[in-house]
Amino acid sequence: MRHEKYDRTEYNSEMKKKNTYNPEFKSKVVLELLSGQHTLNELAEKYQISPATLSSWHKQFQEHAAEVFRRGATDSVREAEAKEREITVLQQKVGQLTIECDWLKKKYNEIFGPEGAPKTRFTKKQKTDG
């Protein structure tokens, strides 16, 4: 039984298929393992992954579980906040430039009228015999 667990397929140096699993799938399987309803080998067979891989995910989960409860912003949160601030500044700049552009168009029409600036004609200087 195959599940929507893959981000992409990679190949190692021997050109054997190496699956890369998405984080949601990994957490789902590890939480199922932690529930105690199935053994590691049963889950490995159910999801068609190696027991060693599942054991590695379980170890990683246990090592990083404390990070969920840490206070303060993580790097990804700080990065997201910085991007939000940058977006806000850029949106303000776009608004300011839009207002300036509209003002200039209005003033241009007031000065030159709706047809725009008058066209200038250059007349050819006529030769005088002399």
What are the 10-residue block averages of pLDDT along the chain, 130 residues in total? 54 65 90 92 91 92 83 80 96 97 92 77 63
pLDDT at 12: 54
Separation between Cα atoms, residue 101 and residue 58, nearest integer Å: 58
pLDDT at 126: 62
pLDDT at 34: 92
Q: Give the DSSP H/E element, type plus range, for residue 14.
A: none
pLDDT at 51: 92
| 121's tokens | 């004609």
pLDDT at 6: 56
In Å, how far are 16, 61, 64, 75, 77 from 68, measured between CA atoms? 35, 11, 8, 13, 13
pLDDT at 1: 44
